[in-house]
Structure 1
Amino acid sequence: MPAPSRVSLPFNRSLMKMGERIAVAVSGGADSTALLLALREEAAVLGIGISAAHLQHGIRGEEADGDLEFLRELCSRLDVPFHVDRVDVPAQAAGNGETIEEAARNARLEFFDRLMQQGIVHSIATAHTQDDQAETVMMKLIRGAWTEGLGGISPVMERASGRLIRPLLPASRQDVLAFLKSRNQTWCEDSTNASTVYTRNRVRGALMPLLREFNPSIGATLSATAELAREEHARWQPEIARLLQQLVMPGKPVRGGGRAVATSPEEQGVAFELERLRGLDLPTRRRLIRAAVERMGVRLGASETLRILMLAGLAPPETPPDPTVPTKPNSRLQLAHGVRAERSVRELRLVRVSDGGPNR
């Protein structure tokens, strides 16, 4: 039987910098295996150094040990340096009050940060594909997301330690499998990918096949939607920063003039003049309120932002009344994560009292 013709793997070459040392985050699955092979093949042309990074999560026992052995052999054959670390994700999840998914993600980021902080690599390349992007956008839509949420997986994530890059976002799952087949390259299957406990697996196994019946190119369509959403969000950012600088006032007014910035070290507070907010359109009001609270370390959802607008008398006229939201001056509204909104005759004040815990 003739060998399959070699096919190329679509990936974003512009994310790579000449002279950069890049570690490919590998699990042994098809996507990360394909990315490692593709970057290794073109490393000389791109002028980059390639290594691989693998984190054992302490979740799948002997199956995970098999993945590790597969990756050791692959990296040895490719003559690629291999960085490995182990962590007990279930124990971390229990200790930090996180889900397994949250704890695993945080553990991976800590591992990547260490590699970059120690100067071993400059960047980490993760193997997120077009299919991953489409699933992410659908999950955000289901939960209810703002524009930045619909932006899904960003091609680049800047961290204090370095960059996380996602060069494989242009490639579909079919592209990945065709590439691996053309090189007679095997990969490992993660048994947890079949578990319906995880939302992403249910989206991947049930929702996406249904959507493809309506649009066979749904992956590319949702990926394009994500790109548009990221562009829209980026366009708003400098405008909101400018308006915040002009409109936000620290703390609250005090008798005799001036403003009190905080009543305790744990309290943060800012205020807006209601009349100046009233002169802005609704999308700008929403973004200003969200940006002000985000600077305090909390991200507001759409419903919470609407409740603040209702308290301030700035919600759209067609908004149904909410008996839990007061609408008269000198009222206050308690929200999640220690955030409180207060309305006076002239101002909307946003306060956060920190409890010292993480906010998500």
Structure 2
Amino acid sequence: MSDRATNFDCFDFERRLADALDADSLLPSGAKVLVGVSGGADSVALLVAMHSLARRGRNFELVVAHLDHGLRAESSADAEFVAELSAGLGVECFIVRQDIASLAQQLGEGLEQAARLARFEFFRDTAQQCGAGAIAMGHHADDNVETILFRILRGTAWRGLAGIPACRQDGQLRIIRPLLGFRRAEILNYCRSRDLSWREDITNAQTIHRRNFIRNELLPSIRERLNPQVDEALLRLGSLAGETERFLRSLAREALGNSVVLAEGGKMIIDAKMLAACDRIVRTTAYRLALTELGMPQRNLTAEHLSQIDALLQAPSGVVNLPANFHARREQSLLLITDN
């Protein structure tokens, strides 16, 4: 799909993208970058704009990855579109087809979550195989608005309120989202001005999925009935929450530095009395940091788990079983966090 836009400055769009990539060294110089491309306007704009920057002397190399999830009759055509787009740009493209419906049954997950997990695993494996040090994703500001609102409704902490991170580490890989400062309308205008085609996912209009309900029904209703500037308000909230989370993490790192007795071999031993002197919110942030350092996946770690660990500081003994076979245990004056 394409529809040429007028009076849109594509070079300014690409300059802002370059600024986003430079911010906080989002993309190291000389990096090889895997761009996740679904065929939608967001990922097409990201690929084409990054390719334009690379041609104008930016020091990075691009490869493309696309997961054909087989959930729609059009998914094969989406894959063909991405392959042709990549070939036209002279960019190497990796495509794989996976039965997401079967995977969802195996994992006991919904289709959306199973597709998300499979897509990221494919991107990560492909990046490692081709020597890419970063994975670029096409999430934008409107995605962030939806994410923040969804997390508010579901229940979340500061980290969740901060929304989608512009950058995060996954082992040796850096996951970057340089379009987070762009609205969806800007991205569409860039595509139209560049006379680019893209694929439309017709299921995005179906409100049976929670994200689509938020996008297509809840947010429009809030804009009409409560606050026409709700998008900006949620993005401000996310920015403030991100600043708060970063401050808490700095306090938690300092608390761990003062209270950790030993950290090696899949375990961390903490002076319970020393850590107990900190505020509770700093302590619970410290537990999350400690578990992250020990390699525990954060997806299933809940506020209840953190509260249970914190209760051990007031108990002479006890054990808390955590996801992924991790444990927290109180022994005399020590708090032990281990991966077995």
Secondary structure at the aligned position of 1:204 is classed as helix
Unaligned stretches of 5+ in structure 1?
Answer: 252-260, 314-328, 355-360
Match of 1:282 among 276, 280, 283: 280
The answer for the alignment partner of 1:234 in structure 2 is 246
Closer, same or farther: CA 168–96 of 1 in aligned 2, 3 Å: same
In 2 relative to 1, CA 18–97 (structure 1 residues): closer, same or farther, beyond 3 Å?
same
Alignment of 1:198-237 (within 5 A): 198-213=209-224, 214-237=226-249
Does the 8 Å contact 2:272/2:313 carry over to 1? no
Partner in structure 2 of residue 316 of structure 1? none
Assess, with a 3 A threshold, how the Cα gap between structure 1 residues 240 and 81 changes in structure 2: closer, same or farther. Answer: same
SS in 2 for 1:170: coil
Is 1:4 the counterpart of 2:6? The answer is yes
Q: Which residue of 2 aligns with 1:185?
A: 196
Change (3 A) 1:79 1:287: closer
Is residue 16–residue 46 contact of structure 1 (8 Å, CA) maintained in 2? no
Is 1:78 the equivalent of 2:76?
A: no
In the alignment, what sits opposite 1:175?
A: 186
User: 2:111, 2:335 → 1: CA distance?
Assistant: 37
2 CA distance for matches of 1:162 and 1:31? 22
- Shift, 1:38, TM fit: 1.7
Query: Aligned residue pairs: how many?
Result: 322
1:63 maps to 2:83: no
TM-score by length of 1: 0.74
Rounded to whole Å, the distance in 2 between the matches of 1:76 and 1:22 is 17
* 1:18–1:46 contact (8 Å) kept in structure 2: no
Deviations 1:300-346 (CA, angstroms, capped at 9, x unpaired):
43344445556766xxxxxxxxxxxxxxx5685866636777779x7
The residue matched to 1:118 in structure 2 has which SS?
helix
Alignment of 1:45-194 (within 5 A): 45-47=56-58, 48-60=60-72, 62-194=73-205
The TM-score with structure 2 as length reference comes to: 0.78
C-alpha contact 1:32 1:126 (8 A) present in aligned 2: yes
Please say if residues 124 and 163 of structure 1, whose CA atoms lie closer than 8 Å, have aligned partners that are also in contact.
Answer: yes
CA distance 1:58–1:161, change in 2 (3 Å): farther
CA contact 1:6–1:183 (8 Å) conserved in 2: no
**Rg larger for:** 1
**Residue matched to 1:243:** 255
- Distance in 2 between residues matched to 1:3 and 1:170, nearest whole Å: 20
* Matched residue type, 2:259: L
**CA 1:287–1:64 in 2, change beyond 3 Å: closer, same or farther?**
same
Provide the alpha-carbon RMSD of the alignment: 3.4
Q: After superposition, what is the alpha-carbon deviation per residue over 1:231-270, rounded to whole angstroms, capped at 9, x for unaligned? A: 332333343233224335679xxxxxxxxx9xxx9x9685
How much has 1:168 moved relative to structure 2?
0.7
What code does the residue aligned with 2:106 have? G
Measured after TM superposition, the shift of residue 31 of structure 1 is 0.8
SS at the partner of 2:156? coil
Corresponding residue SS for 1:131: helix
* Alpha-carbon separation, structure 2, partners of 1:117 and 1:51: 12
Q: Is the 8 A contact 1:330 1:342 kept in 2?
A: no
Report the CA distance shift for 1:99/1:133 in structure 2 as closer, same or farther (over 3 A). Answer: same
Q: Distance in 2 between the 1:94 and 1:298 partners?
A: 21
Which deviations, in whole Å up to 9, do the C-alpha atoms of 1:143-162 show, x marking residues without a partner?
22222222221111222343
SS in 2 for 1:84: strand
Give the one of 15, 19, 31 matched to 1:20. 31
The 8 Å contact of residues 313 and 335 in structure 2, kept in 1 or not, is answered as no
Q: Matched residues, percent identical?
A: 33
Give, in whole Å, the separation in 2 of the partners of 1:163 and 1:139: 25
Q: Does 1:41 align with 2:85?
A: no
SS in 1 for 2:113: helix
Structure 2 distance, partners of 1:290, 1:268, is 14
The correspondence of residues 293-304 of structure 1 with structure 2, limited to 5 A, is 297=296, 299=298, 300-304=301-305
